Structure 1
Amino acid sequence: MIRLQNILLLTLLCVSVPALAKEHVVILATGGTIAGKQASKNDPGYKAGSFKVQDLVDAVPELKEVAELSGQQVANIGSQDMNNEVWLKLARRVNEVASQPDVDGIVITHGTDTLEETAYFLNLVVDTKKPVVLTASMRPATSISADGPMNLYQSVVVATRPEAVGRGVLCVLNDEIHYAAEITKTHTVNPGTMQSPNRGLAGKCDAEVCTFFSPTIRRHTTDSEFKIPADLDDLPAVEIVYAHVDMKRNMIDAAVKSGAKGIVIAGVGDGNMSQEALEAAAEHAKNGVIIVRSSHVGAGIVKRNVEVNDDENGFVASRELNPQKARILVQLALLQDADVDDIQEMFLKY
């Protein structure tokens, strides 16, 4: 009799306890290969941004078991066409959505070509500790063995994890979690294109099981000094000039003539350039143009006053940031009227 009463009591308890509510994750779509469509199965070409956000969600029914989802279409473009206007719109939308108390995390679908740039930009201007996760794919949605569905699934998983809170903007692709400041694209077509060559991964995923590694030491999101003013409609002009054998000064001069307030030299080796280019860069630096020495080799640190006298020339050394991310940091620094010394300090912190 006692055993039967216990069974009845347990049954009543199980019936009366409500199911735990799932986390609410908002998916913001911007287009990219993950939403791409081929003309035919055998056609390697495709049109990015062919599918809408709800199409992406419907293609992965397992997502309903992970979180309560809602989607918004912010843009629908290939990420080669990403621009300042969309960046500002996206950043504001992320901040608006993240401020809603019923939202636990945000996932952004994007193209791989400029994913690292958008992620780093958001990492500096988004004002929330809630998980913000970017994802993409190397194969269009209609291809055989498309990588988008699993990338999206794991991104939503990461966005629901308490371990992801306060880590800044993350990127999830190919079973890996990357920090925005570390990730870079390294291959034209391989699904494992995204790497974090300097400080390594933020974590790993195996389906719905995600393991997080050490947190980043870089400043980001709520600790960032950069904010987007309500009336801002564009970012300062900063150009990248690629260094090479027999580099002339003409491209540096042309960038300044076109209105560039800053120039990032994608240098050879540890941020080097030809003597002619160096003299041109120093000349413009003395006239107030921010000159940053970075490197196009893909990894490593560009240190101050190594081979090039940055103090004498008035240059900034990019440290670990590649040219495309260095450009973003300079754009935001210029919004604050930061000088060369201030900007160099920013490269140490961000």
Structure 2
Amino acid sequence: MNRLLLLATGGTIAGCAADSATLNDYTAGVLGGDALLAAVPQLQGLATISVEQVANVDSADLLFEHWRALVDRIRGAFAAAPELAGVVITHGTNTLEETAWLLQLLIDDPRPVVLVGAMRPATALSADGPLNLLQAVQVASSPEARGHGVLVVMDGQIHGAERVTKLATQGVGAFASPDSGPLGWVDDVGVHLAMVSGPRQVPFAGLDLPEQWPQVPIVYGCVEPEPLLLSVCLNAGVAGLVFTGTGAGQLSVGECRVLETWAGPRPLMLRANRCGSGPVHRNPEDERLGLLPAGSLNPQKARVLLLLCLIAGLDRASMADRLIQLELLN
């Protein structure tokens, strides 16, 4: 029987409400990982699972220290236990996609890391967490999942870390991969996922994560954006900036003017878009303003990539190389 490590971090999948009919007013991160396993006895026939509690929080309250703990534990577990088949992480859905993308960029091992959550608390009628967890363990135990990197299993679908995102505030089908769709699916018949033919790119495989992370705010594009917000960020000396541009990642004239007139050192900056799908391509003005397009990454994932670039000490040219390496920039 396969051996898996389950790292519990809290979230709705571990949440509890006052009664079974309450879906919105609940406390996330109440149950521990052991309780989640005990609620799904069918797991005993799938794998031998060790449980560790990394955190027990709403994922909106996840901290960089939790990310560092996850990375260190996964790297250590894979290095110490060649017989370990994979890792499952129970996680709140609000920032699940960011954690998945962070791990995709840092964990260099063909064994699967599978993130799973729930849209309904554990106490709810028809709670989706138990089945999601069962299917996440199915995927993490399967040979088909090897080489895919970090995966997200929700509502029977298997998503890749780069494209998956939460698109709805309610409903068990809240996750999707815009422009590409899921990589596969899982059901009672098995795991339906194409085998990987070659190695994947892990651009920050050897990167050590610090206790103190750089500041990287996200600036949101809208009609007549307040230039003061951008000026405050620049004057505060932030190390990086992500623009959630309108359309295909466009900045307003006012935002461009702030960058043009800024006399200090420029932070590393990426342009994403607020549309929810579609790429952001190079623009002739990017080099003059110190920007780079984020490709298909949404703003929150662009921020994750920018954080790691800053921790690695990269400049704009080196960050462009990483974007090309990840096939996010032509």
Instruction: Bin the TM-score by the shorter chain.
Output: over 0.9
Give the CA deviation at 1:215.
Answer: 4.9
Q: CA RMSD in A?
A: 1.9
Aligned to 1:46: 26
Aligned residue runs from structure 1 range 101-180, under 5 A: 101-180=82-161
Look up the equivalent residue of 1:156 and give its one-letter code: V
Task: Report how far residue 281 of structure 1 moved.
Answer: 3.1
Amino acid at match of 1:261: A
- With structure 1 as the length reference, what TM-score do the two structures score? 0.88
Task: Show the counterpart of 1:281.
Answer: 259
Report the Cα offset of residue 82 of structure 1. Answer: 0.9
Asked if the contact 1:218/1:349 (under 8 Å) is kept, the reply is no
Superposition pairs of residues 197-346 of structure 1, within 5 angstroms: 197-213=178-194, 215=196, 219-220=200-201, 223-229=202-208, 232-284=210-262, 287-305=265-283, 309-346=285-322
| Bigger radius of gyration | 1
Q: Structure 1 341/228 Cα, relative in aligned 2: closer, same or farther at 3 Å?
A: closer
Instruction: Check conservation: 1:235, 1:332, Cα contact below 8 A.
Output: no
Q: 2:53 aligns with which of 60, 68, 73?
A: 73
Q: Which runs of 5+ in 2 are unaligned?
A: none
Q: Residue 214 and residue 127 in structure 1: after superposition, are their counterparts in 2 closer, same or farther (change >3 A)?
A: closer
Q: 1:102 to 1:284 in 2, by over 3 A?
A: farther
Q: 1:42 to 1:199 in 2, by over 3 A?
A: closer
Q: For residues 168-217 of structure 1, give each alpha carbon's deviation from its aligned partner in whole angstroms, at most 9, with x where no partner exists.
A: 10010000000101100100112111110022211111135111147599
Question: 2:168 is matched with which residue?
Answer: 187
Matching residue's letter, 2:13: I
Number of aligned residue pairs: 324
The secondary structure found in structure 2 opposite 1:104 is strand
**What is the CA-CA distance between 1:104 and the residue it aligns to?**
1.1
- Per the alignment, do residues 187 and 125 of structure 1 end up closer, same or farther by CA in structure 2, a change over 3 Å counting? same
C-alpha deviations, 1:232-259, integer Å up to 9, x for none? 2132211101010011211111222333
**Who is 2:14 aligned against?**
35
**C-alpha distance in 2 between matches for 1:190 and 1:282:** 44
The code of the aligned residue for 2:303 comes to R
For residues 240 and 246 of structure 1, what CA distance do their matches in structure 2 show?
A: 17
Q: Check conservation: 2:146, 2:196, Cα contact below 8 A.
A: no
Percent identity over the alignment is: 37
Kindly tell me: are residues 167 and 300 of structure 1, through their superposed partners in 2, closer, same or farther at Cα, counting changes over 3 Å? same
5+ residue gaps, structure 1, are 1-21
**Is this contact kept in 1: 2:12–2:93, CA < 8 A?**
yes
Residue of structure 1 in register with 2:37 after alignment: 57
